[in-house]
Amino acid sequence: MRVARLLLCCVLLEDYSTNLGGTAITSDAMRQDGSSSATNPTLSDVPSFSEPIGNVTAAIGKEVALSCTIRKVGNYKVGWLRAEDQTILSMGDRKVIQSTRFFVTLENAKTKNQTQSREDEEATWQLHIRGLKEADRGCYMCQLNTKPMLSQLGCVDVLVPPDILSSGTSDGEVSVLEGENATLSCKASGRPPPRVFWRREKSDFILVRGVHDPLIQVDNLSGERLELTRVDRRQMGAYLCIARNEVPPAVSKRVNLKVNFPPSAKAPNQLLSSPLDTNVSLICLIEAYPKTINLWMRKEQVIMSGGRYEIDERGDPDEEWKTTIVLKIRRLEKADLGEYTCSASSSMGKAEATLRVYGKLSLPA
């Protein structure tokens, strides 16, 4: 490779040191040539570029081609180089670089116009890059070993689908106390830089504090950081950070927000009157996170399921901090009348609610 490169350098390249300057010279030459060759016969033997190579953009893994079209190339040689490090990719119809991802095709444009004179013939050297990698991003130079050397540049941009970076992104779970501020972060890479936005996984909206403080519903929120001030239990749940750019697929990451608060217990119906010998259900609503241990008590005694007692506990599928506990007493007896207590306790505290069951006279029909 190195030997080949040295050899070719002498054949092909005039001056490495002015490689970026070469671009300017080239475009000058092109402009001059494009406007004057038809009218100025002294330039008729000088090869020239027919048109700029132009830039191409493609997603990683795809194939691109850069076209270098030259008029009146004669016996001069055309080469392709990577501009950044001057690596020679091809020379004439020979490929120099080993990689199978690069190859050059030559198309003679003679047939375009049969009446065209031989001197006006054009030929196109196409540099193809298959299986694009990020490292292929950059400019490529089409060179002609004239004196002075002629060259022009075409650049390849490689687009990359979004990726969510582990550093700078919240772990799967963020845990705060109710009333504290919480920040969910999500850092994404990609080219072009992806748009990052947040949604709730299940519900259709995110709750955030509006300007006047109460929580308001929004569909989504843009930005790498989702700032929640004075977090409310209703904001608990799974959030999705979604990163999207023009290269599919979009990616997402789930972050679970846990809002911890002491339990509360409430009996929606504190006074229950029920005829003897019927079933009666005592209901208690618990709100807590983390989850509580829930008990029904009577006269300081824990009530166990079994016999005429049936205890049922139901979580709320949408609001995981809500639990309903039900004590069902079958065939109510006189001895069952009186006070019942439901209690909920967690590491954050304990709460109780009291209910009273009265007997109701069942009037004979």
Ligand X SMILES: *[C@@H]1O[C@H](CO)[C@@H](O)[C@H](O)[C@H]1NC(C)=O
Site for ligand X in 199-218 (CB under 6 A): 218
Identify which of residues 36 and 113 has a Cβ nearer to ligand X in the complex: 113
Identify which of residues 18 and 183 has a Cβ nearer to ligand X in the complex: 183
| CA–CA distance, 136 with 126 (Å, rounded to integer) | 16
Peptide bond into 192 cis (omega under 30): yes
Q: Does 181 bind ligand X (CB under 6 A)?
A: yes
| From candidates 35, 36, 116, 203, binder to ligand X by CB under 6 A | 116
Identify which of residues 40 and 181 has a Cβ nearer to ligand X in the complex: 181
- Contact region with ligand X (CB under 6 A), list: 110-118, 260-268, 297-305, 354-362: 110-118
Q: Does 330 bind ligand X (CB under 6 A)?
A: yes
Q: What token pair was written down for 352?
A: 């109780």
DSSP 41: G
Residues forming beta bridges with residue 284, ordered by sequence position: 325
* Shortest CB 313 distance to ligand X, Å: 16
Beta strands 251-266 and 173-177, pairing class: parallel
- Contact region with ligand X (CB under 6 A), list: 111-119, 169-177, 299-307, 314-322: 111-119
| CA–CA distance, 215 with 207 (Å, rounded to integer) | 6
| CA–CA distance, 345 with 282 (Å, rounded to integer) | 19
Residues in the chain: 365
How many Cα atoms occupy the beta-carbon half-sphere of 44 within 13 Å? 9
* Shortest CB 116 distance to ligand X, Å: 5
* Shortest CB 322 distance to ligand X, Å: 24
Identify which of residues 39 and 167 has a Cβ nearer to ligand X in the complex: 39
Q: Does 115 bind ligand X (CB under 6 A)?
A: yes
Q: What are phi and psi of 197, to 5 degrees?
A: -145, 165
Residues that bind ligand X (CB under 6 A): 55, 113, 115-116, 155, 181, 197, 218-220, 229, 278-279, 330
